[in-house]
Amino acid sequence: MSELVERVDERDEVLAVVDRGEAIRHQWLHRIATIVCRDTAGRILVHRRPDDVALFPGQLNWMFGGAVDVAESYEDAAARELVEELGVHTRPRFVFKFLCAGAISPYWLGLHEVVVTEPLQPDPSEVAWYDWLTESELTDLVRHREFVPDAREAFDRYRDLPLRPEGV
């Protein structure tokens, strides 16, 4: 089954609806929505991807998320992905977006943040392991472990925000 996404330009304006596989193959820009999950103590949820997934198997990430569907906003995609991957029903807050070169294809990355107060129900097809880490622990992990490459760039940008989200 193909996944349709909006091909967008350098200003994040829609050009066409295309198959995500084609977007990746042709290096066409499309949209990805990600979520940073924090607990009430400010720790960040980190997870390891399953070994049998197509993209970045067994690698660590501090964001959850996926492709933005056709006619879907970044915010709606982030909320949908949060439910699909973690079973969490809450509305993430948009933090920023940037044009990411991407390890496999370029895309616009919309980063969102949420404080999780309900129990997690991770989808095992998306999450093999998870834990809550302090920013200091995460900083060490990002630099010294097998981490999804695009997640490193997003982490650096997040940490460099002039007005950091609460708890950072």
> pLDDT above 70 covers what percent of the chain?
96
Beta-bridge mates of residue 18: 5
pLDDT given at position 136:
92
Which tens digits make up the pLDDT trace of 92-143? Answer: 999 999 999 999 999 999 999 999 999 999 999 999 999 999 999 999 999 8
- The helix (H) or strand (E) run that includes residue 167 is none
| Cβ atoms within 10 Å, residue 27 | 11
Mean pLDDT of all residues in the chain? 94
State the Cα–Cα distance between residues 7 and 142, nearest whole angstrom.
30
Q: Which two tokens stand for residue 51?
A: 């070994």
pLDDT given at position 164:
55
